[in-house]
């Protein structure tokens, strides 16, 4: 039976990239009647140092972001990673399955560790093994993510296959990455060759889920473009990364394909297209930011939601961890 798992780091604010690449699609999966499990991965966040008070705030705000984006804590399991100890326990097993060489090839590690990799935390190096644990401790079959997580999900498959092979079992499923839609890689509004990211120093490069309507409209008005009008054909978007990005965003926000959008807006000048995009973005995004601030008025309620979610998550994860321990040869595994 299909089971969906995905996670988001509570490390600062959420962007339009997180929304279109992940959150919006999480709500879609849940509404298809599939079992869906969504996690605030606080253990991943601390692979680079986080201020404790900010981490707590970001975790709760992320939970509010999930709910405001349409993830229903009744229909989906919504919880934070550190509350379900089985993630860290399974990660240890996978630390012993994964190879150093696999980890060294991870482009996200290379990017995040930078030139001084010797000074990166051991947790940052082992990050993908914890991510594999998140997924496989639920025997999840499908993982909706943005394009940037593709390599990590390939490693998750490698870990599952090596475990199954090393212990002669057919225990862990080989997970399918689900990287779909027009906005699997939302780019910076200032530079069409860079991913939209919460860590970009320029706030004008991204739309935050907490931005108000005026800010959203201003950022779109000021988004970098080239001087030509939009092409009339999809092919004309090649080598025009900023135009391509705005079209992709329009398509994802309006639940259309890029072809449908081009039929509507092809040939228009940016001076005409940008206000259309701004209206659409404000209509979709500002109710989310309003709902997030409403939910953040009552953090005790958010904590209750996370706790209830953790109980439901643990009920699935605990028996799978115990069977893993038993396969590996741990005495006393139930």
User: How far is residue 94 CA from its own chain's centroid?
Assistant: 22
| Contacting residue, 71, 78, 124, 145, with ligand TYM by CB under 6 A | 145
Stretch near ligand TYM under the rule CB under 6 A, chosen from 13-21, 116-124, 207-215, 223-231: 13-21
User: How distant, in Å, are the alpha carbons of 23, 48, 159 from that of 60?
Assistant: 15, 19, 31
- Candidates 140, 128, 131; CA nearest to 178 is 140
Maximum separation of any 2 CA atoms in the chain, in Å: 69
Given a contact cutoff of 8 angstroms between Cβ atoms, the answer to whether 277 and 249 are in contact is yes
Of the residues 27, 131, 155, 295, which one makes contact with ligand TYM according to CB under 6 A: 131
> Which residues face 80 on adjacent strands?
40
Which residue number, 137 or 229, has a Cβ lying nearer to ligand TYM?
137
Residue list for the binding site = 9-11, 17-18, 134, 146-148, 186, 195-199
Catalytic residues: 112, 195, 198
Residues from 91 through 110 that contact ligand TYM (CB under 6 A)? none
Residues near 163 by Cβ (< 8 Å), separated by ≥ 6?
93, 94, 97, 169, 171, 172
Nearer to ligand TYM, 146 or 173 (CB): 146
| Contact track, ligand TYM, 26-65, x by CB under 6 A | ---------------x--x---------------------
Residues facing 77 on adjacent strands:
37
Q: How many residues does the chain have?
A: 334
Task: Give φ, ψ of 304 to 5 degrees.
Answer: -65, -40
Supply 327's token pair.
């396969």
> Going along 26-106, which residue ranges are E strands?
35-40, 77-80
Three-state DSSP at 40 gives strand
- In the shown chain, the binding pattern of residues 168 to 207 toward ligand TYM, with x for contact by CB under 6 A and - for none, equals ---------------xxxx--------xx-----------
Minimal distance in Å, beta carbon 149 to ligand TYM? 4
Using CB under 6 A as the binding rule, the residues of this chain from 256 to 285 that contact ligand TYM are none
Question: CB of 119: closest distance to ligand TYM in angstroms?
Answer: 20
Binding residues for L-tryptophan: 134
Instruction: Tell me the window of 17-25, 50-58, 283-291, 306-314 that interacts with ligand TYM (CB under 6 A).
Output: 17-25
Q: Contact between 77 and ligand TYM (CB under 6 A)?
A: no
- From the list 3, 4, 6, 247, which residue makes contact with ligand TYM (rule: CB under 6 A)? 6
Decide: 140 and 35 in contact? Cβ < 8 Å. no
Q: Applying CB under 6 A, which residues contact ligand TYM? A: 5-9, 17-18, 21-22, 41, 44, 131, 134-135, 143, 145-146, 148-149, 152, 183-186, 195-196
């Amino acid at each position: 039976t299909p089971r969906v798992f995905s996670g988001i780091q509570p490390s600062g604010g959420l962007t339009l990239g997180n929304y279109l690449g992940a959150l919006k699609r999480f709500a879609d999966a849940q509404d298809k009647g599939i079992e869906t499990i969504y996690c605030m991965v606080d253990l991943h966040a601390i692979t680079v140092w986080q201020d404790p008070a900010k981490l707590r705030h970001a975790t709760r705000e992320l939970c509010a972001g999930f709910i405001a984006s349409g993830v229903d804590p009744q229909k989906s399991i919504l919880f934070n990673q550190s509350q379900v100890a089985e993630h860290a326990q399974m990660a240890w097993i996978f630390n012993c399955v994964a190879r150093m060489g696999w980890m060294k090839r991870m482009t996200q590690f290379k990017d995040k560790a930078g030139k001084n990799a010797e000074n990166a935390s051991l947790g940052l190096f082992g990050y993908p093994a914890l991510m594999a644990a998140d997924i496989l401790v639920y025997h999840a079959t499908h993982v909706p993510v943005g394009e940037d997580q593709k390599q990590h999900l390939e490693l998750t498959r490698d870990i599952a296959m090596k475990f199954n092979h090393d212990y002669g079992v057919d225990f862990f499923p080989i997970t399918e990455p689900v990287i779909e839609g027009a906005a699997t890689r939302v780019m910076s509004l200032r530079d069409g060759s860079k991913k939209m990211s919460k860590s970009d120093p320029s706030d004008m490069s991204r739309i935050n889920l907490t931005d108000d309507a005026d800010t959203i409209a201003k950022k779109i008005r000021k988004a970098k473009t080239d001087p030509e009008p939009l092409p009339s054909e999809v092919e004309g978007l090649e080598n025009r990364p900023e135009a391509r990005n705005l079209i992709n965003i329009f398509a994802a926000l309006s639940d259309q394909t890029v072809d449908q959008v081009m039929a509507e807006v092809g040939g228009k000048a940016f001076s005409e297209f940008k206000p259309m995009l701004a209206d659409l973005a404000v209509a979709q995004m500002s109710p989310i930011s309003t709902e997030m601030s409403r939910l953040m008025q009552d953090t005790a309620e958010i904590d209750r939601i996370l706790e209830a979610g953790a109980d439901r998550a643990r009920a699935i994860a605990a028996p799978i961890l115990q069977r893993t321990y038993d396969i590996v040869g741990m005495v006393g595994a139930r």
